[in-house]
């Protein structure tokens, strides 16, 4: 494992902690709709009005997270969306 791999691991761990923090504090995310979620996700991602929750860059992807407070928006830039996707893949 070279230094780049180590940075990747550190980032992933950090991202996991961040996701856990979000899950524990869903009020940090906007409330998402309960119905027609697929259509709303497309609309939100295409609107260009939201910022990545992680880094503040323009969000180009939106997910709906199921939280204890109900569905919440998870807006992400492509970089963070792919990092989270890769984490989810690793967990399988
Ligand atoms: Zn980001």
pLDDT tens per residue, range 18-33: 888 888 999 989 999 9
Tally the domains of the chain: 1
Rounded to whole angstroms, what are the CA distances from 24 to 17, 59, 67, 77? 11, 22, 8, 22
For residue 4, the number of C-alpha atoms closer than 13 Å in the C-beta half-sphere is 0
CA of 86 to the centre of ligand 1 (A): 14
Q: Please identify every residue whose CB atom is under 5 Å from ligand 1, which is an ion.
A: 52, 54-55, 57, 77, 80
pLDDT at 2: 59
How much is the pLDDT for 3? 62
- pLDDT tens digits for range 40-51: 999 999 999 999
Higher pLDDT among residues 31 and 89, named by residue? 31
Closest by Cα among 79, 78, 84 to 61:
78
How confident is the model at residue 86, as a pLDDT?
82
Per the listing, tokens 């979620």 go with 37
Q: Domain span at residue 17?
A: 3-90
What pLDDT band is residue 84 in, cutting at 50, 70 and 90?
confident
Sign of the torsion angle spanned by Cα atoms 58, 75, 41, 31: negative
Report how far ligand 1's centroid is from the alpha carbon of 12 (Å): 13
The sign of the CA dihedral 40, 46, 48, 50 is positive
Contact 30, 72 (CB under 8 A): yes
């Amino acid at each position: 494992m070279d230094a780049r791999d180590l940075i990747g691991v550190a980032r992933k761990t950090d991202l996991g902690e961040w996701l856990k923090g979000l899950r524990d504090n869903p009020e940090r995310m906007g409330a998402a709709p309960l119905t027609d979620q697929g259509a709303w996700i497309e609309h939100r991602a295409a609107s260009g009005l939201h910022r990545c929750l992680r880094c503040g860059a323009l969000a180009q992807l939106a997910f709906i997270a199921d939280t204890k407070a109900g569905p919440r928006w998870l807006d992400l830039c492509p970089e963070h969306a792919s990092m989270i996707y890769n984490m989810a893949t690793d967990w399988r």
